[in-house]
Chain A
Amino acid sequence: MFDDFFIRALIAGIGVALVTGPLGCFVVWRRLSYFGDTLSHSALLGVTIAYSFELNIAVSVFLISSIIALFLIQLQKKTNLPGDALLGLLAHSSLAVGLVVIGFLTFIRFDIMGLLFGDILAVTVKDLTIIWFGGALILLVLKLIWKPLFASTVNYELAEAEGLNPDRAKAVFTILMAAIIAISIKMVGLLLITGMLIIPAAMARNISDNPKKMVLFAIIGGLLSVIIGLFSSLEFNTASGPSIITASLILFILSLLKIKQSIQLKN
């Protein structure tokens, strides 16, 4: 039989994939992949703060990522710099500050590779609770803001004109992004979380003709990636994050065949 740690990793990964599916679709639709990168890079700072003050990692990462997101919104209002420059500024500076702080914390031993790329050995029963409870909460909130968020993704002014309050939906969605990063950091690692959000959703886009189907396929794609990735991680002794992302890339490439087919049919 599999070891306990592997079963825990599998349960954790399945919990993460159920949430990254629908959130990832919005990341693709709203073109937020770089925004996701910025938030997840800032997570390193959250981790170091957690270690320094002996806080829970997920809670600390969630708080720091939320603060960075709010800071970004303020910066966008106050400066004339283009959005991607601001995102780059925050992403790399928070990563750098995080690494510098780690350098100072010589009394604690860090598994940097584990932080950056995920570590299945590190998933504890407590992490499982956080992933499943937090994940359920994220999905519940997403369901509540689905209509205004989706409508404003299609057309902001339409949603605003017809009374759906898209600004509130956007703010709530930003918090949800910080939350998913916080709960998936141990599994996938902070450098690869955005991949877990985007690649299954991009794969799903290739094989769906409506939004609900795309969300469903993104979830299925994420689940398959986690299962295939974790088994090969165990088999080949590779880091869990890269293994999961590689599996999702293979699924994405397979989905391209479907596109090719439908283009040929049209011609």
Chain B
Amino acid sequence: MSSEKNTLVKLENAGYSQNNKWLVRGVSLEVEKGKIVTLIGPNGSGKSTTAKIALGIYKKIEGKVEKYTKKVGYVPQKVSIDWTLPLRVNDFMVLTENLKDDAINEALSLTGVEHLKNKNLGNLSGGEFQRVLLARAISKKPELLVLDEPVQGVDFTGEIALYELIKKISDELNCGILLISHDLHTVMSATDHVVCLNGHVCCSGSPIDVAKNNEYKALFGEQASQILSVYEHRHDHVHSNEGEIKKN
């Protein structure tokens, strides 16, 4: 198969402005089947905006966006359920697609929240709600998953387990994933390609390339370099100048 056919969504020089202010501009990226692309960047750098451009939520955009699939699963950054709407986890799971009970149970147990199936969404904790959001997005077996800070509020061990799950889903379903995180550290091992944003694309490439990049260091400061060393220790990529990076 040619690489063209593997492409799920492609942004070319895309940008979006609101009230005469550019939220993000000049973004080019491509998500392919079975690949995980991670967007990182500080608050207000345009990560969610980029995701919404890719999803087609923003229509009046600059540049070009091409989407080659309709089977999309989305975990938005923020979902608030109004009290006026009584909604159980079970009702939420079938929000955009009719699913069999087995498929609902399977997805909920993958993210570890099967026991919450009949609970009211309003009564869940932040972490539990994120797990339900993720379960809903994967339950429909999408070709493209867009995850906007999918593990916010999840406890630390849960966070690692969920990123492992995301990696596993990408392999098993062969779906492409656009992942948003503000923390390169935790997503590094699961990522194929990193795009670092700050209103525009600062740098992009493999996780290691980005972590070494000076613009990335300037954005994320001292910590970023330390993260690189931790990462390299854990994965046994010994680089000769590791100690020097730490001192930076």
Show the binding face of A for B, using Cβ within 8 Å: 28-29, 31, 147, 150-151, 153-155, 157-164, 205, 208-214
Contacts and interface: CB of A to CB of B under 8 A. Distances in A.
A205 B79 CA distance: 21
Interface string B103-143: 00000000000000000100000000000000000000000
Interface in B61-89: 70, 72-74, 76, 79, 81-82, 84-88
Contacts of B81: 154
A159 B120 CA distance: 20
A213 B86 contact: yes
B84 A28 contact: yes
A199 to B, nearest CB: 14
A256 to B, nearest CB: 15
B86 A151 contact: no
A163 B57 CA distance: 10
B19 to A, nearest CB: 11
A209 B52 contact: no
Nearest to B51: A161
Contact of A161 (B55, B85, B88, B91): B55
B231 interface: no
Given A150-B95, A154-B81, A155-B79, A160 B86 contact: no
A154 B57 contact: no
B221 interface: no
A205 B57 contact: no
A160 B74 CA distance: 10
Nearest to A154: B95
B195 to A, nearest CB: 19
19 contacts: A29-B82, A150-B95, A154-B85, A157-B55, A157-B74, A158-B74, A158-B76, A159-B96, A160-B55, A161-B56, A161-B72, A161-B146, A162-B73, A205-B86, A209-B86, A210-B90, A211-B85, A211-B86, A213-B86
B187 to A, nearest CB: 21
User: 9 tightest CB-CB pairs across the interface, nearest first?
Assistant: A161-B55, A161-B74, A162-B96, A29-B85, A151-B95, A160-B57, A157-B57, A163-B70, A151-B96
B92 interface: yes
Given A155-B76, A157-B52, A158-B76, A164 B96 contact: yes
Contacts of A150: 95
Given A160-B55, A161-B76, A211-B85, 16 more contacts: A29-B85, A31-B84, A147-B96, A153-B85, A154-B85, A157-B52, A158-B79, A158-B95, A161-B55, A161-B72, A162-B73, A205-B84, A210-B87, A211-B87, A213-B86, A214-B86
A161 B96 CA distance: 10
Contacts of B87: 154, 210-211
A41 B132 CA distance: 43
Nearest to A28: B84
Contacts of A162: 72-74, 96-97
A210 B57 contact: no
Contact of A210 (B72, B76, B82, B88): B88
Contacts of A153: 85
A213 B96 CA distance: 19
Nearest to B67: A163
Interface string B46-60: 000000100111000
B57 A161 contact: yes
